[in-house]
Amino acid sequence: MANPNFRERPDRELERLSDEELIEYIVGARDAGRLDACNRAGAILVHGYWDIAVARCRLKVPPADAEDVAGQAVVSAITTFAFAGGSIGEFRGWLHTIVDRRIADYHRARERKSPPEALPETGGDEDAVWGVEPWEEGEAGAIDVQSVVDQAFAELSETHQRVVELYGFEDLSAVDAAAQIPDMTEANVHQIYTRFRARLRELLAEAGEGDTPP
């Protein structure tokens, strides 16, 4: 039965909704049988992350397959998030977790020398199939590989993390980054970020990364 309480919103209003509110709206529109509204909200959400997901995939899979992998990840992330009804947390983090898993699936598939049915000892690769989404009871044991950046970042204090966020990833100048954190100086920002980058290179070396010939 159609949901009589669903209220269609104009696009300019949809664009101001958070990711989680947009997904709630998409589900509401679907339940109300308002497929046009469902698609409009879906377009805003998908467009918002499309280039980001594709760029991440281009870093890890061949260019010809990057959009396919990204597309599967985006659809899977939104549908599973919608199905879980908000129990997953923040959508953006969830999307990137699913992108990571689809990239891993992609490489696992290519590592196989024969089709999956020829691996009787595994009974196929169900984790790769279903992506071991944590909302699925009994499949909560998925271990996501932590990136070396996340690892180096996690070793920092909260204040130093903020420095790295502002100076490294928001691309603020050291002066502007320092201005946003109490008792922080421009010199300190440089020092903290330089140490972070040194640690990052250390972790990459430990992982045997970066050994590709010049």
Partner 1 sequence: MTDVDSLLSEFIERQRSGGDADPTELVERVEGMDRRELEELIDAYLRRAPRREFDAAAYRESGAPQVVDALSRSLTGSAGLWPALLPRLRERARLRRAELVERLARALGAADRRAKVEAYYHKMEQGLLPADGVSDRVLGALGEIVGASAETLRRAGAAIAPPAGAGPAEQAAFARTALPDPAYEGMESPTAPTGPADHPADAWDEVDELFRGGGRR
Report 60-119 residues binding partner 1 (CB under 8 A).
Answer: 63, 67-68, 70-72, 74-76, 78-80, 82-83, 92, 96, 102, 105, 109, 115-117, 119
Binding test (CB under 8 A) with partner 1, winner from 25, 81, 88, 148: 148
Give 148 or 178: the residue with its C-beta nearer to partner 1: 148
Number of residues that bind partner 1 (CB under 8 A): 83
Helices and strands in the chain: count of H runs, count of E runs: 10, 0
- Please tell me what DSSP assigns to residue 147: P
CA distance 125 to 210: 30
Single residue of 8, 20, 24, 50 touching partner 1 by CB under 8 A: 50
Cβ burial, residue 25 (10 Å; 0-12/13-18/19+): buried
Reference 131, options 194, 88, 165; nearest CA is 88
By CB under 8 A, name the one of 150, 155, 175, 187 that touches partner 1.
Answer: 150
Q: Is 141 in the site for partner 1 (CB under 8 A)?
A: no
Query: Interface with partner 1 includes 126 (CB under 8 A)?
Result: yes
Distance CA 75, CA 94 (A): 12
Q: Please identify, using beta-carbon distances, which residue of 51 and 155 lies nearer to partner 1.
A: 51
> How many whole angstroms separate alpha carbon 131 and alpha carbon 160?
34
In the complex, the smallest distance separating the C-beta of residue 184 from partner 1, rounded to whole angstroms, is 20
Candidates 9, 20, 24, 58: give the one binding partner 1 (CB under 8 A).
58
